[in-house]
Structure formats: C-alpha cells, structure tokens
Amino acid sequence: MKEYNPDAIRNIALVGHGGSGKTTISELLLYTGGEINRIGKIEEGNTTSDFNSNEIERQISIAASPLHLDWNNVKINLLDTPGFPDFIGQVISSLHVADLAVAVVKSAEGIEVGTELTWDFVKKYHLPSAVIINKVDNEHSKFFETLLQTKERLSSDVTIISFPAKEGLNFDSVVDLIKMKLVNYGESGTKKITESDIPADLKEKAEALRIELIEKVAESNEELMNKFFEVGTLSDEDLLKGLKSAIVNRSFVPAFAFSSSKGVGVNTFLDFASKYFPAPNERNAAEVKIKDSENKIQLKCDPSGEPALFIFKSLSEQHVGELSIFKVYSGTLTPGTDMVNTHRDKVERLGQLFILNGRNRKEVSSLKAGDIGAVVKLKDSHTGDTLCSKNLSIVIPEINYPHPVIRFAVQPKAKGDEDKISAALHTAHEEEPSLESRYDGEIAQTIVSGQGELQLNLAIKLLKDRYGVEVDLVEPRIPYRETIKGKCEDAEYKHKKQSGGRGQYGHVHLKLEPVPRGNGYEFVDAIVGGVVPGRFVPAVEKGLKEIMTKGILTGSKVVDVRVTLFDGTYHSVDSDEVSFKIAASQAFKKGFMDAKPVILEPIYDITVKIPEEYMGDVMGDISSRRGKILGMDSESPFQIIKAKVPLAELHKYSTQLRSLTQGRGMFSMSFSHYEEVSKDIEGKIIEEYQKSKEEDKE
C-alpha cells in the first residue's frame, strides 16, 4: 500500500444541510478516483458512506463516514457528515480533525438552515473552507444568485473557481477559471471529459471572473499585491503560491459548480483540491497541553516526530468489536507500537492499522502524521482520547459538543434490565458523544438527552437491535424543590412506643424558618441543660436530612430552611437514636405544613435563533409556555430571542421549534435558578404526585 507524507494528504469534511448531496458527491469522488467501480444510490441503499441499517432505511446520513481516494498522487481523506441537526455532534468531531471544510449548497434552494448551523462551527474552528454549489442540473437552478447568498451569509471571501456554461437540465460543462478552459463532462459514470477553448459568448464573463479571482488572491499578500499593480496580473507560479496561502489564511473561499447526479464538475474540484487545498503540515501546528500541567506546546505535523494520535470517532461492529478512528498528529504509526492513553493512564498496543471507505477496511503497514486511519480492539481508549509515545505525554484538546436540547426518561419494559440498559447507553454514547445518559437519583429515573427526538429514538432502537433490551421514552419527572415562606415557632412530636420489653421514646420541639434562596439547609442545636442528650442530637439531624430528601408535598427535596432543635425530653431506658430520628422527621412534617410551604421549579435560560419571519409565532409560543422574554438581538439574517422558561414547559421544545420554523430555528438551554410556582400550578403538581403514588401502590 502506498505511503503518503503530510504534504500529499488532504483532510476534507463535507458539511451542509440534509439533502444537499454530500453523500452522492462522496460516492462520485470515490468512483472518479477509482476506489469503487460503480456509483451507489441513496434510494437503493448501496452507497459507501451510508452503510448502517438506519441510514439505509431512512435515506439520511446519521454518522460521519471516513473515506479516501488518490488523485494526482495526493491522498484525499473525506469525512461525509450528516446534515440532520440531531447529528451535529458527528459534524463537530469531523471538523475537529479536518484541515478544510466544504459546504455543499443546493443551487435552487440556496443557503438552508443546516448549512448555516454547520458553518458556525467551521468559523469557530477557524477552518479553511470551500463551497460546492450542487444540483446545477436542477431546472430551477440559480447558480449566481446562490453564489451571492454564500457571499452574504457564509463569507464575503467566496470566489468562483468554476461556473456553469449553461444551467438546468442541459448542465454538462463548467468554465474552469484556473485553466481558463471549458471542461465538458460525458454521461454520468463514463469518466469522460474534454477540455476546449471557452466559447465566445462566455469569454468576457470568464475573463472578468478570472480578474476578480486574481485580485482576491493578490489582496491576501502584500508582495503579490505589488506584483499585481506592476504587471496587472499574476504568473501561474504566483497564483499557485498565493491561492494556497490565501485558503490557509481563510481570506479566500473557492466555489465550484457541480452536479453530483450527472458527475459534472468533479474533475475540476479534485484537480483544485489536490493542488491548492492545505496539507495538514501547511496549517498552524496543533496547540496541545503537557499532561498534568497547564503548559502548552506546538505539536508539529512531522512524520519523524514522536507518535501521537487523537481518537475522534468510535464504531462498534458486531463481529469486530470497537473500531477507533483517529487522526495522526505527529510521528509515524506502525502495528505493535506501544502508546500511552494520557486521559486514562493506560498503555495500549496498536494492532492492525486500517484506512476506511465506509465499512470497507484496507490494512496498511504504517500511517504518517496528518493521515486518518482506524485500529481495532483497543482495551481502554475511546472517543476524545489522546494516545502518544511515553516520551511525549501530551493531551490533544478534546471535542466540545453542544449542550443537549431534549431529554427523556428511559422506562424498561421488563424488570431487571437496568444493568443492560446502562451498558448499552454507555456504548451508544461512545459512538455518538452528543448523546448523554445518566441516572438521576433525585427523580429516580435514567435520563437520556441529546440534540433531537430522532437521535434519541435511534439510540433506543440500538438498545433493542443490538442488546435485546426494550424500553419506552417517557417525559422525565421535574426535579422540583420544596421550601417555606413562613415560620413555625414550635413543631412538636413525641414518639412513644411500648410493646413489652424495652420501648421507644423520643420527643423534640423544633423551630422552622426560611433562609435566603440558595443557602440550602441549616441545623441549629439550641438544647440547654441536656433535655435532649448530646448523643441523640446527630440522630435528630439524620431524621431531618432524610425527610428533607424525600420531601413533604411532592416527594421533592426541601431546601432553604433553618431548623432549630430547642427543646425535648428523653427516657433513660427507652430513648434511642431511632426514636429521636422518627420524632425529628414527624415534627418537621408538622412544622413544614404550618410554615406556608411552597413548591419551587427549575427555570432555564433559553437562546432561540430564528429567521425574522417566525418571530411572532415563536414569541407567542414562548409566552404560552409561561416564558419571560428578556430581550432580542439581531444577527443578520437571524433574530436572537433570550428568555427564561420553566423546565416543565420545555419538553419536546426542540421538535416544536423546528415545526414552527420549517426546520430553520435553533435553540440552546442552560439552568438558571429555582422559582416559586403559582398556586394553580402548585395544585396540579401535588395532584399529579398523589396520583402517581396511588399508581405505584397498585
């Protein structure tokens, strides 16, 4: 198998809205590069990158797929990412290791929400980028209008490299502004292309766009700018050098005309990518941390350096086990190399190394810095881990996934499946780290959370298909809090039990009063003269803590209460710790109900990003959810709404927001504070709690 040095490697992530054609483009690129011998179709479920059963069934990409091909002796690694917002975690992990992102945009529809969402992360990662304007063969194609949109909404640095000679159903050729040739593509699948002079009717347009391209390149470099002013153009050598550095510096975003179904534009794109897209060693060295230190170093992409890799994705296959997909950041990897997992302090020995095209694996003898590959059966290493030589001991920055926007509780259909569910959800998280699960002891439920209902439903399907565990997704209980607004000066309870032999006796007087919100619970021992012996005071406090954890009104935790033990009596024989524990909890119950008890509910900050035309509907919906709108901001062409909304009203909000905005709305949420609920809501909460208690008894 051919070996590639860093300067002959290109790592490209394909991003964009669902249905823009990323998977079909990947298929076409692999076919043109000779990696596959027929072009698969999404409708037929035989594409290289969408290979799992859920992707085939739903005809959408769910996981990012690593692919590769050779073009002009350059290895092009592709990461075909999902466009559906539920799987944004897969996009983020791909961008973490890519050296350039290509946004795929439909020529007829223009910029869609998925493109904008993923482009935000491209900017966040400061990644060089390019644009493919796809489906120019659509009868409603509007290439130049869509190009203008990309300039306005993605980057003002978008610059044409190829444009269609004619659009719509007859689209079969592009004008290549680098070669200044008309490139005509034969029937899809023939790989036939012919280059000819640009027709007279397109010559003027091509020359104007070529000047625009050269000016844009010259602007990125002072030396080139001076040459341009002196000569009026740039030599091919200067253009090559200038294009590369301008793309790396993110001051030039090349745009290509494309038809993934007809195969038009593919060679033009591959020629440009192999020549001008940045190699991993042409970008800034990765900034990494020295283990157990805040000190950072620059890790050069050098095949002769100490080996280091970062696992950015895991796949679990039935007959193979876990497959760890990684990028080599430094050194050269060979099978049998011992490496240290610096996150977990474990030594791992690398087994066989592979490069991937979807589920197809090719074994390789080595992988050099900058390349992407896979290894099977690592014992203790997972997504987000750094493996390096013991001489290096570094930690490569982890992937920051977005906060979950939807949560459900997992309800097993059969008793005794809890351990299986926990293990299966852990595996699901390894494959899709933006999917989170945890057992919440406060509400006694296992909570799964993520980026959308589809993502959670697929996780549940995985439990059934792979582990034979069936569960339902139900609305999670809300972690309410209980507190008091008034005082109870004397809550008394005497626990007395006599049933032959030694009895039980405990007697306490408590004072209950509220403390400022957030101060929690305070216990004051104000016993004078030993009326309650000191050895029983800890039992009183234990009884209070237990009853406060269980709650009085709704089974929710009691907070922000000061309890003072100021009096009581005891029996020299019958008093024991259990008696005082019971007396304390019962006295607290009585006193709590006399001290104006209230229920507090969790309030969340939400930030909603929507196109302006949906403002009225979305704001009305927030108000109907008892939300308080705090303010609005503009981020052209979007409006940003900030609000505080009770958690109880946010169940399935992400689904509703997508419905209200035709999939163009996004939101994030984070905990803010607890707030008292109104009396009518309080009544409903207590009623529901009592009802659930009755059902549990049955």
pLDDT above 90 for 490:
yes
Distance (Å, whole) CA 694 – CA 685: 14
The segment with the largest mean pLDDT, out of 309-323, 406-420, 573-587, is 573-587
Residue 127, phi then psi, degrees to nearest 5:
-90, 140
Where are the domains positioned within the chain? 6-282, 286-395, 406-474, 482-595, 600-680
CATH 3.40.50.360 fits 600-680, yes or no: no
Per-residue pLDDT at 190: 81
SS3 state of residue 358:
coil
pLDDT at 468: 84
| pLDDT tens digits along 363-416 | 999 999 999 999 987 888 989 999 999 999 999 999 999 888 899 999 888 777
Q: What whole-number distance in Å separates Cα of residue 340 and Cα of residue 349?
A: 9
Q: Per CATH, is 286-395 categorized as 2.40.30.10?
A: yes
CB 353 within 8 A of CB 364: yes
Residues found in the chain: 698
Burial class (CB in 10 A: 0-12, 13-18, 19+), 47: buried
Q: Give pLDDT tens digits for 425-480.
A: 888 888 888 999 999 888 888 999 999 888 998 888 888 887 888 888 999 999 99
The pLDDT, as a whole number, for residue 321 is: 64
**Alpha carbon 35 to chain centroid distance?**
31
Rg (CA), the chain: 32
184: left (phi over 0), alpha (psi -120 to 50) or beta: beta
What is the CATH architecture assignment of 482-595?
Answer: 2-Layer Sandwich (3.30)
For residue 320, what is the DSSP state?
T
Write the class of the CATH domain 6-282.
alpha beta
CATH code for the structural domain at 406-474: 3.30.70.870
Per-residue pLDDT tens over the stretch 258-314: 999 999 999 999 999 999 999 999 999 999 999 988 899 999 999 999 999 999 999
- Whether 697 shows a pLDDT value over 70: the answer reads no
At a CB cut-off of 8 Å and minimum separation 6, what does 156 contact? Answer: none
Residues 6+ apart with CB under 8 A from 313: 63, 64, 66, 90, 93, 94, 324, 325, 383
Residues sharing a CB contact under 8 Å with residue 14, sequence separation 6 or more, in sequence order: 22, 25, 26, 78, 79, 80, 81, 101, 102, 104
* Residue 696 pLDDT: 64
Tokens of 139: 């009868």
**286-395 with 600-680: one CATH topology?**
no
Asked if residues 565 and 532 have their Cβ atoms less than 8 Å apart, the reply is: yes
The reported pLDDT for the residue numbered 464 is: 84
